[in-house]
Amino acid sequence: MASTVLITGCSSGIGAAAVRAFADRGWNVAATLRNPAGAQFEQGAGCVEAFALDVTDAPCVEQAVAQAQARFGRIDVLINNAGYGLFGPFETATPEAIRRQFATNVEGVFAVTRAVLPGMRAQGSGVIINIASLTGLVAMPLYSIYAASKYAVVGFSESLSHELAPLGIRVKVFAPGSVHTDFSGRSMARTFKGDGGPYAASIAKVQAAFVANRASGGAASSPQALGQALYGAATDGSAQVRYVVGADALETMRLRKELGEEALLAGLRQHFGLAT
């Protein structure tokens, strides 16, 4: 019987690329997204079926997981990919904006993970991969709420890996650097209106640095490369928990080790034009 992966946030980007990476290798893929109407995925050598899943809606999560299990018989791998970025100063972030960020990026991971665990426990095996970010390891400026959500995912994943290991379930956390997706477009929310008022100068500098990095080609990874890396993490059979992926992410972690935290953070401020 073919193995089955359930992936959240499959409408585009990393999620859609992961669907293709697994399907091409003959896996059953439960591709979940908030609105599956009209969603089209190439079948590859496997079977891909779309399911409606809003990670902030607990009954919807339970229903989607139950439907996927009924359709394919089991879930061998879960990839918690659904999420979005919240950009801007902390001071201008409303309580509602903060709640929404954590409801999606953190509580959504909790909900889907909780829903698949009974089945994985019963079969005595499974792999759970939670998508964090380089910003969940080294925080970038004006991403304080997003960084907090991704730091939470990292901590959750590492602790969960200990409690589930005796049950035959491996937990991994995937921390990519910049990615060639629409993350900074329709998937990006802002904490501020207009130019950001007292933070306008800092916002302009940080945005200019990101634009310049994209214009230069930077070191961003393609969604396809990350989809392949996710397949590798899911199937490598190792006890490795943390996967830092992408040239820029690896370079940043190298610098943190070689320079130390204080020098790295000072370098980041200088890079984004925020040095005093």
Q: What are phi and psi of 211, to 5 degrees?
A: -60, -45
| Cβ atoms < 10 Å from Cβ of 225 | 18
**Cβ proximity of 272 and 201 under 8 Å:** no
* pLDDT tens digit sequence for 28-63: 999 999 998 877 787 777 899 999 999 999 999 999
**Cβ proximity of 97 and 145 under 8 Å:** yes
Q: pTM for the whole thing? A: 0.94
User: How many angstroms separate the CA atoms of 232 and 168, rounded?
Assistant: 18
* pLDDT tens digit sequence for 235-261: 999 999 999 999 999 999 999 999 999
* Residues facing 244 on adjacent strands: 175
The residues annotated as belonging to the active site are: 146
Residue 65 DSSP code: H
Q: What are phi and psi of 50, to 5 degrees?
A: -90, 140
Long-range contacts of the stretch 102-108 (C-beta < 8 A, 24+): 102/148, 102/149, 102/152, 103/56, 104/55, 104/56, 105/146, 105/149, 105/150, 105/152, 105/153, 106/149, 106/152, 106/153, 106/156, 107/55, 107/56, 108/8, 108/55, 108/56, 108/61, 108/80, 108/82, 108/83
| Residue 203, both tokens | 């916002």
Given this model, what pLDDT does residue 183 score?
Answer: 47
**Cβ proximity of 7 and 15 under 8 Å:** yes
Which is nearest to 156 in space by CA: 229, 123, 107, 120?
A: 107
Given this model, what pLDDT does residue 212 score?
Answer: 82
User: How many angstroms separate the CA atoms of 265 and 268, rounded?
Assistant: 5
**Cβ proximity of 218 and 248 under 8 Å:** yes
Q: Which residue has the tokens 């006890």?
A: 239
Judge whether residue 145 has pLDDT over 90: yes
* Helix, strand, or coil (residue 141): coil
Element (H, E) at 263: helix 261-271
* pLDDT tens digit sequence for 182-216: 545 455 799 999 999 999 999 999 999 988 877 66
